[in-house]
Each structure stands twice: as structure tokens, then as C-alpha cells.
Amino acid sequence: MENKTNLEIAIKAAVKAGEKILEIYNDSDFSVEKKADNSPLTIADKKSHDIIQEYLSKTEIPVLSEEGRNIDYSERKDWEQFWIVDPLDGTKEFIKKNGEFTVNIALAKNGKPVMGIIYVPVSKTLYFGEISLGAFMCENISGEITLDSVLKKSEKLPKPKKTKKYFVVGSRSHMSPETEGYINALKQKHAEIDIISKGSSLKICMVAEGVADEYPRFGPTMEWDTAAGHAITNAAGKKLWLTDFSEELTYNKENLLNPYFIVK
């Protein structure tokens, strides 16, 4: 029951934070240069963080957030469970105004993500998952939010696959040599491969949703970039592996930088 209560609180936090981000996003003129500390991006990030912090404080579980990342390892190393938050994931997408930015909230226990919420403010799409409950997607979320009401409107993930084509999440134009080599190796195994491009943590969501078969990431990410997507992926019956497939990513490391990984 505790996990369901925490999941409902986190969903409310993500949606409310997303609504505030959207206000700033829609009202801002991105052609006007401002100081970095007073940019629409910075303001949206801080407002989102504050709203999420207010909601999650009710759980009395510590929070590790990109906005408040300077918590020393000596303080957090003994945390059995903690929230890990990216109040606005996809800064390039926010500035480009392409709508592919998200609010990410995850709950981790003993270094493993057990609950994840990813909210897309522009499309009002919610991805969420909890290891014993499963993974879900809710479109056009609105009105009073309770876990039961959201579940009634949600679709279970992953969705059934309708094609034999193998889909890989990546960039068509800016592919690293490692990613290019990995995809070339996949081409030896699969007759047809197509590349799907997405921003922010939506890359991971594509695999959880079943729209993509895998997402290789040979580039830097932080723990708050992946934790929510990782939890949703696990709840959908998939994994976020190290590139040698020996084990999954872990969280609350002394260095919060992730190693390279593959979602499938």
C-alpha cells in the first residue's frame, strides 16, 4: 500500500510541476537573450524542482535532484531508499520548443529503481511504472488525479508489436562511432532496421512502450536522466543493461555519472 501512496504522490508532483513548466514555456520569448540565472529554462527548472520537493516531502524519503545535486556521498551513502528527480529533462528540446522534454521522478531502493514517473507536459502524456504493478501510459491526463483514476485511463506497456522491422532509438545525424558500430552489428542480425529519433528520457520510454526494440547509449548521462525510465522499463519487463550485458545500472553511486548502457 505504501508504494501505491508514494506512486500517487509522485504522479501528482510530476503533473503539477509539468503544468508550471508549460506556463513558462508557452509565455516565454526564447529569441530574447537573458542572463543564464534568469532564463526561462532556469526559472522553469527551479519552479518544477520546488513543486516536486513540496509533494515528495510528504513521504519523508530523501530526495536527490539535479537542482539540488550537491549532497555529499558521505551523507547519502547509507540511504536505503531515496527519490531521484530531474525537474526538467531535455534542456535542448525545451529551448528548441519541440515539446520533447519531460519531468522525471524515480524511487530507488538499495541502488535499484523500483518506481518511475515520466511526464511530458506539452502532450500531457504520462508514463509510469512500479515493479509489482507493471508499466503504463496515460494520454491527455487531466482533472483530479488519483492512482485509480489514472490507471482506468491508462494502457498497459509494452504494447503489442505490429511489424517485423527492428527499431533502434538514436540520432540519424549525430551518431557516435560506438553507436554506429553497435547498430552496424545489429544490421547483421536483423533484416530491416529503422532509427527512431526522440529527445530526453522519451528515448527510454520508446523501448518500454514497445515502439522501439532497443536504445544503445554510448554517451554521458547522469543518474537522474535514467532512473525513472529505468524503473518504467523494468516494470514493462525489459532491462537497462551495462553495454557488456553483465548487470543493470545502479544508483546512488559516489560518482553520479552513468556508464554507457543499452535498453532492451
User: Which domains does the chain possess?
Assistant: 2-157 (3.30.540.10), 166-263 (3.40.190.80)
Kindly report which listed range (64-78, 99-113, 210-224, 246-260) carries the lowest average pLDDT score.
64-78
- 49-67 pLDDT per residue, tens: 999 999 999 999 999 998 8
Question: What per-residue confidence (pLDDT) applies to 175?
Answer: 80
- Asked if 21 and 67 touch (Cβ cutoff 8 Å), the reply is no
- 65-112 pLDDT per residue, tens: 988 667 999 999 999 999 999 999 999 899 889 999 999 999 999 999
Question: What per-residue confidence (pLDDT) applies to 1?
Answer: 54
Element (H or E) spanning 47, and its range? helix 40-56
Question: What per-residue confidence (pLDDT) applies to 32?
Answer: 58
**Beta partners for 192?**
none
Question: What per-residue confidence (pLDDT) applies to 143?
Answer: 76
Question: What per-residue confidence (pLDDT) applies to 61?
Answer: 97
C-alpha cell at 230: 529505468
C-alpha cell at 247: 548487470
Secondary structure of residue 152 in the 3-state scheme: helix
C-alpha cell at 189: 542480425
Q: How far apart are CA 165 and CA 149, in angstroms?
A: 35
Kindly report which listed range (192-196, 229-233, 240-244) carries the lowest average pLDDT score.
192-196
- Asked if 25 and 121 touch (Cβ cutoff 8 Å), the reply is yes
Is the per-residue pLDDT at 18 higher than 90?
yes
- Asked if 85 and 102 touch (Cβ cutoff 8 Å), the reply is no
C-alpha cell at 92: 535542448
Q: How far apart are CA 203 and CA 31, in angstroms?
A: 28
Is the per-residue pLDDT at 130 higher than 60?
yes
Q: What is the bridge-based pairing of β-strands 166-169 and 193-196?
A: parallel
Question: What per-residue confidence (pLDDT) applies to 33?
Answer: 54
**Could you tell me the pTM of the whole model?**
0.95
Kindly report which listed range (67-76, 110-119, 203-212, 223-232) carries the lowest average pLDDT score.
67-76
253 or 163, which is more confident: 253
